[in-house]
Structure 1
Amino acid sequence: MKKVVIGEELDKIIKKSLDILCDTVGSTLGPKGNNSIISSSSLPAFVTDDGVTLARNIESDDVCVNSVLEILKEASIRTDEIVGDGTTTALVLLKAIMSNANDLIRCGMSRYEVKKNLENEEKMIEDLIIKESFKPDDNALKNIATTSSKSEKIGETIYQVVKKIRNIAGVTITTSNKEETCVKYFKGYEFDTNLASPFFFKGTSSIKLKNPYVLVTSESIYDIEKLSNLINKSFVDKRNLLIFAADYDEDVINQVLSFNYDNDLKIYLLKNPEFGKRQYLLMSDLLEICNCKEYKNQFSYDNVGVVKEIVINKDKTYVYFDNNLAAYIEENKSNLEYINDEFDINYYERRISMLSDGLATIEVGGKTISEARENKMHYDDAIHATYSALEGVNIGAGYTYLKISSTLEDNCILKNALCVPFRQILKNAGLDVNTIEKNVTFDFKKIYNVKVDDYEGIDSPSVLDSTKVLIQSLKTAVSIANILLSTGSLIINEQIKNIDIDHDINI
């Protein structure tokens, strides 16, 4: 049976959903925000103050409330997907916006007019945020990382990573079973290992080739005799040979394995592990790295490349090189303008990182599994906030929203909502909100640093927010608010138990 909810009953359900989600997540905002314990049937209970993690785990037994919660979660999840931080701020803003909007609707303003005003105000405030932003120096980047992670140690680690790896696609964060966190840097190119035969490992788990010859082709190799000149050259020059192709005939594989058994110099056959366009991109990268031309049927010495070192493990193959690829990198960067799919963009950016700065893996430790998981969430927040801050930063601690609020007309819907993040940060720290707000808004020449419980001047603030995060948090909150304001009914498909099939059911 279908249940239809409209009018005041729907408004109550939306308000209840906002209270459940936004109050729970909002209590974690700021350096002295509260933690929450999350328990689920699939994982051990753990402690976190990560907004998007909390939001994803909040549900209700009330099917109507739960339906609205799923829509509201979009506010945090979408913000996290785009900028990786600011999820809690988005939900705090959302509740305040909905409260102000509903007050106006009760006073007679139409929902359409409220929505239109919200959209116009959001664009105006976005411009004001950009106007207040500035380019971060090294100290500002470190402060961003520290503020987002709520830890000076994590902030320092993230700052060092961002200085070395200029694109977030080149950074991977994982948990480890050790107490201490470590960062591993890899200056080179990696891809999934796809050896033509496991017998190439010959009892070892890793193959290391120093200055090997490399042949790259998009074709399958069916006749090893066509490459006899290359094999002879490799033998005469006393260099190992790596062939990278689409596939190999079984006879070719057996002949090469037999050759390796009888000789000290080795030939290794790798297959292209990618599919579709990515096959071509991987092959193109290897051709540039090895400084050679693609082999097509007819062998020439232009087809032979050389690299510094290749390490083939059972899972990954690592290529170390030292040639300059600046022109090729710029060509790939320009191609990014024509790519819209986020998955493909990340793949391009990771390739560019490998070809330029390399990769970094942050292995996050902790004394317990729960601590390691919580630490990883802080590292995730900090890495996204810091990379997004490269485009610009604003004074943090709710100051930027609060200052912009003071410049808006009293009839602006977002005027009061913009003050809420500032107040929530202070409230979570158990501070005198009214007194501190009066002191800050007196001349807007200082902010309150909750972490050290003191004021500091705006000329050299230690609390900063990414401009991109501030804008996206507001954008997402306004977007979800507009969806809720335009919602006039909620339809629930309910399962009815123990129904007498002889009776009709009205839908």
Structure 2
Amino acid sequence: MKKVITGERLYNYEEEAIELLCGTVKKTLGPKGSNAIIDHSMFSPFITNDGVTIAKNIESEDECINTILTLAKEASIKTNEEVGDGTTTTLVLLESIFKSGIKKIREGLNPNILKKELDEATKEVIEELKKESKDPEEKDYLNIASIAANDEKIGKEISSLYLRLQQKGAIKIEESETNETDTEIIKGYTFETFLASPYFLNSKEEQTFKKPYLLLVNKEILEIEEISEVINFIIDKKVPIVTIAKDYSEEVVNEILSLNFNKVTNVILLKMPEYGLHQIEVLNDIEILTNAKLIKTNDEINLNNLAKCDEIKIDKKEVTIINSKQKEKVEKRIKELEEKLIKEKDSYEKDFLNERLAKLTNGKGIIRVSGVTITEARERKMRYDDALCALKSMNEGVLPGAGMSLLKIHDQIQVKSNGYALLKDALNQPFIEILKNAGIDDKKIYNEIKANDYSIIYNTLEEKFEFIKEAKIIDPTNVVINTLKNASSIASMLLTTTSLIINEYKEDNKINLNSEL
């Protein structure tokens, strides 16, 4: 049975959903924003002030409100996926636009006309933000990371690593297995270890081969005779070899293990990393880096198609290939990946491309985050994640932070229509909310900023004014633009929705799991 909700009932449900979502999350905005405790059915409860994490965990017992919540959450989730930061600001803007918009619709304004006007206003503001944007300086990376993490020490650690990797490097944030937070840069092309048998490492934690050979086979190796020429060669030359193939028969694995055990050979059989199209891309990277031929038939398994590397390191988690002989080919591959990255829209694919670029350029960074308790470690890891995402968003420039860039446009924009009025009313809300959460009079601060013609900014953490040219409080332009764009988009969708259709379940149709069979 379907239930249809329209008119004033729908508006009321939408208002409740927006109030529940935005009203909860917006309290965390700014350096003095509050935290939320989130219960988890499988793990311990944890504390966070991360907007998107809180938003994802907000639910209602009312199925109508829950349906609207799911749609409204997309604004913050999409911002997080696109730029990794600004989720709370998105919801602050969404709440203001929606509340003002629903008031206009109740007064009789056509929702579709309002949407068109709002879209026009949003485009104009985005163009103004782009004009105000400036290229980041080196010090801006520390400032951006510190603000995103709400912690200067975290900001310093992650921005330092980010700059050492010359901004191209992939950085992985993980929870530490010790009581210390540490950073590491891994040079070379790395991928996950898939041993054909655990006995290839046996009691050794890792194996490092100097000047090893590499055999790259895009098929299963089922008989030892298929690789006999290669095995005889390495026995004769007494050199190590690493083989990467789709899979191996039990006969091949046992034969090679026997030769290794008797110290006749030093061979490691690896299965291919990744899956599907990603597997092919990684194999092509390795092929270019090492000058190995990606073998597809038995006839191609010969000495001519072997590659020699500078070093291959293998442990139980990761394989690292280092080779410096194919610089021209690698540079060409890097340019190809950079061009793909510019065109790619999917955040998951962007991360995959960034990681591969890092492996081919300056290496991969790892930060292992510790905490006194699991809850603290998890919360600190989220802060590192936020800082990293903010750093990645700096490629399109930076703007004054603390809601200042939107506040300035709020004062300057001309109201050409009702849609412009909605957006104008929303643009000063992040500024107001940051100060409100700190218990500071926003009107007093605003009057001082306006009297100084926006040449100063208010540092909420230290509770003092600073000259905007010298201030450390900045936001990535990309983050500010995406918060506005996503808030406006979801608000428009909600304002132009005239009906809600949901499944209605009757109590007597539900299965009683406690009843006897």
Q: TM-score range by the shorter chain?
A: over 0.9
In structure 2, the partner of 1:89 is 89
Match of 1:377 among 351, 358, 382: 382
Residues 97 and 44 of structure 1, relative CA distance in 2, 3 Å threshold: same
Alignment of 1:88-127 (within 5 A): 88-127=88-127
1:386-415 Cα offsets, whole Å, 9 max, x none, are 110132110011110000111112452211
**Which of the residues 466, 470, 473 maps onto 1:463?**
473
Q: Do structure 1's residue 432 and structure 2's residue 437 form an aligned pair?
A: no
Q: What SS does the corresponding residue of 2:218 show, helix, strand or coil?
A: coil
Q: Aligned to 1:196, what secondary structure does the other structure show?
A: coil
TM-score (norm 1): 0.92
Q: Secondary structure at the match of 2:81?
A: helix
Letter in 2 for 1:415: K
In structure 2, what is the equivalent of residue 216 of structure 1?
216
Letter in 2 for 1:280: I
Residue 322 of structure 2: aligned partner:
320
The change in CA–CA distance for 1:327 and 1:432 in structure 2 (over 3 A counts) is same
Residue 445 of structure 1: aligned partner: 455
Letter in 2 for 1:388: S
In structure 1, C-alpha distance between the alignment counterparts of 2:493 and 2:301, rounded to whole Å: 62
State the partner residue of 1:503. Answer: none
- Matched residue type, 2:467: G
CA distance in 2, matches of 1:61, 1:335: 44
Deviates more, 1:449-458 or 1:184-193: 184-193
User: Which deviates further from its counterpart, 347-356 or 29-38?
Assistant: 347-356
**Shift of residue 223, structure 1, vs aligned partner:** 4.8
Deviation at 1:345, TM superposition (A): 3.6
Query: Cα 1:294–1:101, aligned 2, differ >3 Å: closer, same or farther?
Result: closer
Distance 1:205 1:317 in 2: 12
Show CA shifts across 1:147-197 (max 9, x none).
111111011012112113356772211222444321122111222223333
Q: Distance in 2 between matches of 1:226 and 1:492?
A: 61
Greater Cα shift, 372-381 or 467-476: 372-381
Relative to 1, partners in 2 of residues 1:167 and 1:140: Cα closer, same or farther, differing over 3 Å?
closer
SS in 1 for 2:28: coil
1:188 is the counterpart of 2:188: yes
CA distance in 2, matches of 1:71, 1:147: 29
Please give the per-residue CA displacement for 1:107-144, whole angstroms capped at 9, x wherever unaligned: 44211111001111111111111110011111111111
Match of 1:305 in 2: 307
CA 1:107/1:298 → structure 2, altered by over 3 Å: closer, same or farther?
closer
Does 1:416 find its partner at 2:425? Answer: yes
The alignment partner of 2:320 has SS state of strand
CA distance in structure 2 between the partners assigned to 1:284 and 1:133 by the alignment: 39
Residue 241 of structure 2 is matched in structure 1 by 241
Moved more, 246-255 or 209-218: 246-255
Answering whether residue 146 of structure 2 is matched by residue 136 of structure 1, we say no
The secondary structure found in structure 1 opposite 2:393 is helix
In 2: Cα distance, 1:242 partner to 1:431 partner: 64
Q: What is the SS of the residue equivalent to 2:195?
A: coil
Asked if the contact 2:213–2:242 (Cα under 8 Å) also holds between the matched residues in 1, the reply is: yes
Counterpart pick for 2:398 among 386, 389, 393? 393
Identify which range, 56-65 or 386-395, moves more after superposition. 56-65
Separation of aligned partners in 1, 2:31 and 2:346: 35
Q: Percent identity?
A: 39
Q: SS at 1:255's partner residue?
A: helix
Question: Residue 512 of structure 2 aligns with which residue?
Answer: none
Distance 1:212 1:434, change over 3 A: same
How far apart are the structure 2 equivalents of 1:109 and 1:90? 25
Q: Provide the rounded CA distance (Å) in 1 between the counterparts of 2:264 and 2:169.
A: 40
What amino acid maps onto 2:311 in structure 1? Answer: E
- Of 472, 490, 494, which residue of structure 1 is paired with 2:482? 472
- Structure 2: tracts of 5 or more residues without a match: 510-517
- Partners of 1:265 and 1:312 in 2: how far apart? 17
Number of the residue aligned with 2:76: 76
Give the counterpart letter for 2:316 in structure 1.
K
CA contact (8 A) 1:226 1:298 kept: no
Distance 1:30 1:341, change over 3 A: closer
Length-normalised TM-score, structure 2: 0.90
Q: Cα distance, 1:460 vs. partner?
A: 1.9
Can you give the 5+ residue segments of structure 1 that lack an aligned partner in the other structure? 500-507
| Comparing 259-268 and 428-437, the one that deviates more | 259-268
* 1:138 counterpart letter in structure 2: E
SS in 1 for 2:436: helix
Q: Which has the larger displacement, 202-211 or 423-432?
A: 202-211
Q: What corresponds to 1:365 in structure 2?
A: 370
One-letter code aligned to 1:319: I
Mapped contact 1:171–1:359 kept (Cα < 8 A): yes
**What is the letter of the counterpart of residue 321 of structure 1?**
N
2:6 matched to which residue of 1? 6
User: Aligned residue pairs: how many?
Assistant: 499
Select between 237-246 and 483-492 the one with higher mean Cα deviation. Answer: 237-246
SS in 2 for 1:439: helix
Amino acid at match of 2:240: N
Q: Letter of the 2:442 partner, please give it.
A: V
Quote the offset at 1:254 in angstroms.
3.2
CA–CA distance in 2 between the matches of 1:498 and 1:327?
67
Is the CA contact (8 Å cut-off) linking 1:178 and 1:367 kept in structure 2?
A: no
Aligned CA-pair RMSD: 2.2
Hey, what does 1:454 align to over in structure 2? Answer: 464
Is 1:352 equivalent to 2:357 in the alignment? yes
1:279 alignment counterpart: 279
Structure 1 residue runs of 4+, over 6 Å off? none
1:231 aligns with 2:231: yes
Q: Which residue matches 1:267?
A: 267
Separation of aligned partners in 2, 1:341 and 1:17: 28
